[in-house]
Chain A
């Protein structure tokens, strides 16, 4: 009888209840000055950083990224956005949240400030991140994405989300073509080298949620072969460097899920060129790879 009552009354009521508000974010290109371009050694830094931000926000469930929000006509970025205008823009983009921002040159690196506007109420709030010495731009933007996501969710009446760091480690197996074990490992993350990488193949490297460039290395005791991958790390995920070494051929490398083994990147033939990571400042590492490349979307390989 209880079950019947539940079926008749409670279940339909649950089905009729309003679904949880979706949080769909549209991000405009950020504004930046020449001094920021000089600092990071890039061009149009605000635009590039906004592209990374969009990708980083896309992995922070339950947020989804729409847009982008084209704000060319409002380049000064110091005009208030009235609620009616925010609502109209939100409706045109299918967005509940609009984000714009500005990048400034700080003493230790870029400072990113974001303006987060609720398209439903017009409520406008801000949040910012400042570089600390040695921090990569990828991590800086990842932190901003988490803060923007928290503000956006609060504006839509959603409870705060939790987006823990991901991790990546290497693989080792007995060598099939030599006496030495074959190791595929992480050589550097966003320009930060992993010291003694082949020996530390099983040491997990933390990845803040979002876009990262990861150099991986294959070593069979005689030859070093490397490849770099750009991929979007999901919060809390565990990744592993995978490899295959057909006889008399170069190794094939990829990054895959440590749990399922499914690749999250292309399988790429390694090459023997020396990666520049050991000598590159992480701060100056990003524009070359961000601007010309399509932003990877989670669940899609590239």
Chain B
């Protein structure tokens, strides 16, 4: 296209113009902008919505990741404690005194008797979730576990784990009393290293 052809085409074309509703709304936007002390914005509404959605999605993803990571970490605690490796190590270290290994929000710790007086048969691993509170306890059948509002006793019948206390009963097949509001899972801990741990009992 030659310059002459381009000039004639441009002169023949209509002048670009705002639609009528633009001029109807324009004075109002100018006045509102002046009153607010800011320049009138011309950013389209759908852009704002897109930005808001993206921010929300990012927050959601971050929260989901945090929850997933937290669960995975705690689940790992239960699984790593129930294999009995740490229990056996602590039993060697505190022969007859080890009552329990407890992992909760304050970390990992052992509960010891003052004198060697603990029956260390039938070790069990219990995870108790009470809202945000969560603890994993490796202990022995016949030992108590301290919950937020009560003490319960752990009992093993050789095949399954029972938690019993005042108005509190949990078994792998059901719960009664205050145990209903908790999420609990329990498993027997093999006294010796086992290549295939028993399946986890959950409720």
Name A's B-contacting residues (CB within 8 A). 31, 33, 35, 76-84, 102, 104-107, 111, 113, 115, 117, 121-128, 130, 147, 151, 154
Q: Can you report 15 residue pairs joining A to B where beta carbons are below 8 Å apart?
A: A33-B167, A35-B167, A76-B151, A77-B153, A78-B144, A80-B144, A113-B162, A113-B164, A121-B121, A123-B142, A125-B122, A125-B156, A128-B162, A128-B171, A147-B157
**Given A33-B167, A151-B158, 18 other A-B residues pairs in contact with their CB atoms under 8 A:** A80-B153, A82-B113, A82-B117, A102-B164, A104-B177, A111-B169, A113-B162, A113-B164, A113-B169, A117-B142, A122-B142, A123-B121, A124-B119, A124-B155, A125-B142, A125-B155, A125-B158, A151-B157
Chain A residue nearest to B121 (CB atoms) is A123
Considering only residues 85-137 of chain B, those with a C-beta below 8 Å from chain A are: 99, 113, 117-119, 121-122
Within 8 Å by CB of A104, from B142, B151, B158, B176, lies B176
> Cβ of B167: which chain A residues have Cβ within 8 Å of it?
33, 35, 104
Give chain A's interface secondary structure class: mixed
Within 8 Å by CB of B153, from A84, A104, A115, A147, lies A115
The winner among B152, B153, B165 for most chain A CB atoms within 10 A is: B153
B166 within 8 A of A: yes
> Cβ of B143: which chain A residues have Cβ within 8 Å of it?
80
Complex: A105 Cα to B155 Cα, angstroms: 19
> Cβ of B118: which chain A residues have Cβ within 8 Å of it?
80, 82
Whether the pair A123, B164 counts as a contact (CB closer than 8 A) is no
> Known: A78-B153, A84-B117, A115-B155. Contact between A126 and B144, CB under 8 A?
no
- Which bracket fits the contact residues of B? 20 to 34
Closest chain-B Cβ to A132's Cβ sits at a distance in Å of 13
Closest chain-B Cβ to A236's Cβ sits at a distance in Å of 25
> Known: A113-B155, A113-B169. Contact between A106 and B119, CB under 8 A?
no
Name B's A-contacting residues (CB within 8 A). 99, 113, 117-119, 121-122, 140-144, 151-153, 155-158, 162, 164-169, 171, 174, 176-177
Complex: A193 Cα to B170 Cα, angstroms: 34
> Cβ of B113: which chain A residues have Cβ within 8 Å of it?
82
> Known: A111-B169, A117-B142, A126-B162. Contact between A78 and B155, CB under 8 A?
no
> Cβ of B156: which chain A residues have Cβ within 8 Å of it?
125-126
Complex: A33 Cα to B166 Cα, angstroms: 8
Chain A residue nearest to B154 (CB atoms) is A126
Complex: A124 Cα to B151 Cα, angstroms: 17
Closest chain-A Cβ to B187's Cβ sits at a distance in Å of 15
Whether the pair A83, B119 counts as a contact (CB closer than 8 A) is yes
Complex: A145 Cα to B101 Cα, angstroms: 33
Complex: A84 Cα to B169 Cα, angstroms: 28
Whether the pair A127, B142 counts as a contact (CB closer than 8 A) is no
Complex: A79 Cα to B155 Cα, angstroms: 12
The winner among B118, B162, B164, B166 for most chain A CB atoms within 10 A is: B164
> Cβ of B142: which chain A residues have Cβ within 8 Å of it?
80-81, 115, 117, 122-125
> Cβ of A126: which chain B residues have Cβ within 8 Å of it?
141, 153, 155-157, 162, 164
Complex: A128 Cα to B179 Cα, angstroms: 16
> Cβ of A35: which chain B residues have Cβ within 8 Å of it?
167
Complex: A123 Cα to B166 Cα, angstroms: 22
Closest chain-A Cβ to B100's Cβ sits at a distance in Å of 10
Whether the pair B144, A79 counts as a contact (CB closer than 8 A) is yes
> Cβ of A127: which chain B residues have Cβ within 8 Å of it?
155, 157, 162
Closest chain-A Cβ to B173's Cβ sits at a distance in Å of 9
Chain B residue nearest to A86 (CB atoms) is B119
